[in-house]
Structures are given as C-alpha cells and as structure tokens.
Amino acid sequence: MSPIELNQRQDKILQIVKEKGPITGEKIAEQLNLTRATLRPDLAILTMAGFLDARPRVGYFYSGKKTMASVTESMMNLKVKDFQSMPVVVSENMTAYDAICQMFLEDVGTLFVVDDRSRLQGVLSRKDLLRTSIGTQAITKIPVHIIMTRMPNIVYCHKNDSLIHVAKKLIERQVDSLPVVEEKEDGLEIVGRITKTNITKAFISLAETNDL
Ligand code: ADP
C-alpha cells in the first residue's frame, strides 16, 4: 500500500503510541489535552490505514508501518558515498580502440579521462566511441582526448551529496553517469562513479527499508 500523508495531530498520536503503547484512547486524549470524542476520527483513520493496531481493554499500539514523512526523510538521507561504484579511468593519450577494449574489460558504459597527474579532464561514453568508430579516422590512432567531452563541461558530484540531487542532475543533463570527485589544488581527483544503476539500487533499498 502506498504511504499516506498524516496531519499534525495524527503524527503526534503516532508519536505517543510509539513511545507509550499499548495505551488507551483516554490516555492519549489526556496527553494531548483533548477529549476522547475529538480524537475518535483520528484514531479511526490511523487504525484503518494500518499505522495503529487496537485491542479491546489493552489499547492502541504501533504497527510499524512508515509514514510519508519518514519515507521522505529516508530518501533525503541517501548519500552518494553509500551507493557509489569504483571509477574506471584512462589516460588522455589512450587510443579510441584501447578505450573500447577497456570498456568491455571493465564492463562499464563510461570511462573517465585523466591527465598525467590523475586529474579529471574528460568523459567518454559508449556513443562517443561508436561515433568515432563509424567516422573516417582510424580508431587505432586517434587519442581519446580528441573525442571526449572535456572540462569545464563535465557534470560531477561529491561523496556527501544527496543521491536524489544527483539523480536530478543525471536526468536534466541527459547523461548516464557522474564522476564523484574531491577538489584538489591542481584539479579534481576522481574517487567514485554514480550511474543510473546505482540510483536504481538505492530506489530498491528505499522500498525495502520502508516495507513498501
Ligand atoms: P551515451 O552517449 O552512450 O548515450 P551518455 O548519455 O552518458 O552516454 O553520454 C552522452 C554524452 O554526454 C556523451 O557525449 C558523453 O561524453 C557526455 N557525458 C557523459 N557523462 C557526462 C558528464 N558526467 N558530464 C558531461 N558530459 C557527459
């Protein structure tokens, strides 16, 4: 069942039952300085929606079902560092042919290109290499720095960024992956890689941790 949004009073009731349950309707009303009758509709909603269980003569107790607010909170807590993969980097002077081999060997769809100080210079996608392969230049000769997308046009992220913001960047910029970087005096060091697959895995883990 999809999570429903609760009003402020219903959230308070849930909090009380979580801390003090099992607890009777009268006791909940007392804690909120309200009458039992005022609370009746809220308790009915919470019970029908499955957030609370009620037992005659025992009272209400918390069922463990998550609210929309807690799903949203756990979504905002997903961080790049918890889902990132290892980056695969190649040198600027590697040939397009060798880059294609590297892509197969490492089983990735994007290669990050670095200079001789290991600083990010470019990104190479599958289609960048396909385009070169059907072009007129010899793929065994052409270096990747000629065909890559280069700095400063690279979209990147940091390990403490929220995964939801990274997912938005992937969609807005229409790319499959972002390098995870750390800023250094002489450029960007690549410390990871976030792809649409990582985002999909995070999506599944969100559903699992929230019993959806
Ligand atoms: P494909 O080209 O195989 O569909 P992408 O959608 O990831 O893969 O790449 C589209 C274009 O965007 C390519 O030219 C690639 O070099 C470039 N690109 C890929 N990732 C990035 C990125 N993080 N920042 C900037 N450009 C990128």
pLDDT digits (tens, 9 = 90+) for 93-114: 999 999 999 999 999 999 999 9
Q: Is the CB of 20 under 6 A from ligand 1?
A: no
Looking at residue 57, its pLDDT comes to 83
- How far are the Cα atoms of 19, 29, 51, 52 from residue 33, in angstroms, in the given order? 17, 6, 22, 20
User: What does the DSSP 8-state code read for residue 62?
Assistant: E
Q: Is the CB of 155 under 6 A from ligand 1?
A: yes
Token pair 């949004």: residue: 5
Give me ligand 1 centre to Cα 176, in Å.
Answer: 6
Residues of the chain with pLDDT under 50: 1-2
Q: Is the CB of 125 under 6 A from ligand 1?
A: yes
For 121, list phi and psi in degrees, rounded to 5: -120, -30
Give me ligand 1 centre to Cα 149, in Å.
Answer: 7
Give me ligand 1 centre to Cα 88, in Å.
Answer: 15
> Would you tell me how many other CB atoms lie within 10 Å of the CB of residue 129?
19
Residue nearest to atom 17 of ligand 1 (CA): 149
The reply to whether omega before 143 is within 30° of 0 (cis) is no
Q: Whole-angstrom Cα distance, residue 154 to residue 162?
A: 19
Q: Which of 123, 168, 188 to mutate to test ligand 1, by most ligand atoms within 8 A of the CB atom?
A: 123
Give me ligand 1 centre to Cα 121, in Å.
Answer: 14
pTM of the predicted protein model: 0.76
Task: Tell me the residue type at 20.
Answer: K
Token pair 């385009």: residue: 131
Token pair 């009073």: residue: 9
Looking at residue 136, its pLDDT comes to 83
Q: Is 151 exposed, middle or buried (0-12, 13-18, 19+ CB in 10 A)?
A: middle
